Structure 1
């Protein structure tokens, strides 16, 4: 039983973060960034509050959207045992 508990703890510590990037138009031309958290519950299955990248771009036609689960997001998710699973979205114009 002790071995199973240790293996479970290690598997939780070794889980990776994910990220994906979307390029709109020709992509970011500058380095102006806006960052917001997205809020999900039940291991990310149910969105509660998700940021709108188009609104975050504030009318820009060329921008880059980077969505990821950062270390802090993963830590919060781990502390809540996956009941609350945030991600971070950054829009670069």
Structure 2
């Protein structure tokens, strides 16, 4: 019983950290193409008081060509954060362009 409870608690902790924020800047755009930029951003101590920027207009050539910006904490990002007890907490950013 204790083993089952421990596995359930650990699974809940590992899965609870996944999150995604999606910004659709061009709703009619075709999003089937690969991301123009996929990068990992590094944060420390759960990212408290830290910022990083990605210039999506520069990546796509102009602001009109930006279709979607996606930030997510993947399972691997969450696992790295859990293993380091929140000292290292990466996040993945994707930028998709029109055409």
Instruction: Specify if TM > 0.5.
Output: yes
Instruction: Give the TM-score of the pair, scaled to structure 1.
Output: 0.71
Q: 1:13 to 1:26 in 2, by over 3 A?
A: closer
Corresponding residue SS for 2:50: strand
- For 1:82 and 1:75, how far apart are their aligned partners in 2? 10
Specify the alignment match of 2:41 in structure 1. 38
Specify the alignment match of 1:9 in structure 2. 10
8 A contact 1:37–1:87 mirrored in 2: yes
Residues 43-54 of structure 1: pairs in structure 2 closer than 5 A: 43-47=46-50, 49-54=52-57
Q: 1:10 to 1:70 in 2, by over 3 A?
A: closer
- For 1:27 and 1:79, how far apart are their aligned partners in 2? 40
- For 1:84 and 1:44, how far apart are their aligned partners in 2? 8
| Alignment gaps of 5+ in structure 1 | none
| Alignment gaps of 5+ in structure 2 | none
Q: 1:36 to 1:44 in 2, by over 3 A?
A: same
More strand by share: 1
Kindly state the Cα deviation for residue 24 of structure 1 after the two structures are TM-superposed.
2.3
Q: RMSD of aligned C-alpha atoms?
A: 2.7
Instruction: Give the TM-score of the pair, scaled to structure 2.
Output: 0.68
Kindly state the Cα deviation for residue 44 of structure 1 after the two structures are TM-superposed.
2.0
Count, aligned residues: 90
More helix by share: 2
Q: Does 1:65 align with 2:69?
A: yes
